[in-house]
Amino acid sequence: MDLSPNVQGVIEQIEKLTVLELSDLVKALEDKFGVSAAAPVAMVAASAAAAAPAEEEEVQTEFTVALIGIGDKKLQVIKEVRAIAGLGLKEAKEFVEGDLPKAIKEDITKAEAEQIKSKLDAVGANVEIK
């Protein structure tokens, strides 16, 4: 793009500004010319929303946590699965040693699923949230 020397000089000056100075510059330009830097963004968002189909996209509200692999710390994984799923020791051991992937908990909130995933990740298990 061919820019005039004046425009090149302005760009070079702007490159030297700190973030705070740049923020002040934007505010000053908005005040001086009575415009808002956010207006074009809002217009683009509005036009994108208008272009979206009339059907609302279904938002997933229920999640499933599945054990994919147990890693090196089998005993710790068994203990965590036991606590999370409310199983007895024998049932938790059979669950972990059985065919994987296998759902640990189903139809739970995203927050609960993330919490379970972090607990199992901490003991070396491979977990997936669906």
**Does one domain contain both 72 and 93?**
yes
Gap between the Cα atoms of 12 and 41, Å rounded: 25
Half-sphere exposure of 80 (CA within 13 A, CB side): 23
Looking at the structure, tell me whether residues 71 and 112 fall in a common domain: yes
Task: Give the pLDDT mean for 28-54.
Answer: 61
- Residue 93 CA from chain centroid, whole number: 32
Mean pLDDT of 111-126: 85
pLDDT score of 109: 86
Q: Is residue 112 part of a domain?
A: yes
Residue 116 and residue 69 in one domain: yes
Span 46-76, pLDDT tens digits: 555 555 555 556 777 788 888 888 888 888 8
Nearest to 67 by CA among 82, 83, 53, 81: 81
Examine the domain organization and report whether 116 and 78 are in the same domain. Answer: yes
For the chain, how big is the Rg over CA atoms in Å?
Answer: 27
Residue 65, helix vs strand vs coil:
strand
Measured in degrees and rounded to the nearest 5, phi and psi for residue 107 equal 55, 50
Mean pLDDT of the residues in the chain: 78
Residues 123 and 78 in one domain: yes
Q: DSSP assignment, residue 72?
A: S
pLDDT of 8 > 60? The answer is yes
Asked if residue 44 has pLDDT above 80, the reply is no
Q: How many domains does the chain have?
A: 2
Question: What does the pLDDT read at residue 13?
Answer: 87
Q: Which residue has the higher pLDDT, 56 or 119?
A: 119
| Contact status, residue 125 vs residue 79, Cβ threshold 8 Å | no
The pTM of this model reads 0.52
**Domain annotation covers residue 42:** yes
At 7 the pLDDT is: 84
Sign of the alpha-carbon torsion through 75, 77, 78, 82: positive
Residue ranges making up the domain that contains 41: 5-51
Distance CA 37, CA 103 (A): 48
